Structure 1
Amino acid sequence: MARIKITLFGALREKLGWDSKVVEIPYNKCSFRKLLDMIPELRDIMIENNKIKEGFIVLVDGIHIQFKGGLDAEINDGDEISIFPPGGGG
């Protein structure tokens, strides 16, 4: 079993109603895609056409997820994931 900490930032916090949570998965590791499938309310906001929507920044232990394989990135016990929504400008 693995424990993964997910922390949300910006408007995601208000939209989902939580700042951070620890997700327990029944495996030692899984893909980011599989982890999101366990949190459908987050998946539905972040994923479109089988990709992370443009503008989202996802860090796994401080490393941008695109450098770890994107949705197929391996997530391990103890990893900390930070998710930032697209920013607005003006």
Structure 2
Amino acid sequence: MPKIRVRLFANLREYTGTKELELEGNTIKEILEILCKRFPGLRNMLFNGNSLQPYINVFLNGRDIIESGGLGTPVHSDDEIAIFPPVSGG
């Protein structure tokens, strides 16, 4: 299985205690499922049933996964997934 770098931002980083980790999987969904097994509290933050929460943004190599096939998007060695929760500021 390919090794994928996963980068976490904002409260996801705070929850997991890390900004980056390496996971193995074949699709975006597999990677996110593995991440949720490692950090069970992330499931409700990331998913609404089997779909991503509408406010979570996931990028594969800088491109929104919505443009490339959603959760079923295949991943390859040395790919990078970035997960952004909602961000607000003023």
Task: Count how many residue pairs are aligned between Structure 1 and Structure 2.
Answer: 86
Q: 2:32, 2:2 → 1: CA distance?
A: 15
- Partners of 2:31 and 2:86 lie apart in 1 by 20
Between stretches 40-49 and 64-73, larger displacement belongs to 40-49
Q: 2:35 aligns with which of 39, 45, 49?
A: 39
- Mapping 1:45-60, distance limit 5 Å: 45-60=45-60
Identity of aligned residues (%): 30
Unaligned ranges ≥5, structure 1: none
Cα distance per residue 1:12-60 (max 9 Å; x no partner): 11011111011134xxxx1211112212227502011211101111110
Using structure 1 for the length normalisation, give the TM-score.
0.83
Structure 1 contact 4–78 (Cα < 8 Å) conserved: yes
Report runs of 4+ in structure 1 exceeding 3 Å deviation. none
1:15 counterpart residue number: 15
User: CA contact under 8 A between 2:24 and 2:31: conserved in structure 1?
Assistant: no
After superposition, the CA RMSD in angstroms is 1.7
Greater share of residues in strand: 1
TM-score (norm 2): 0.83
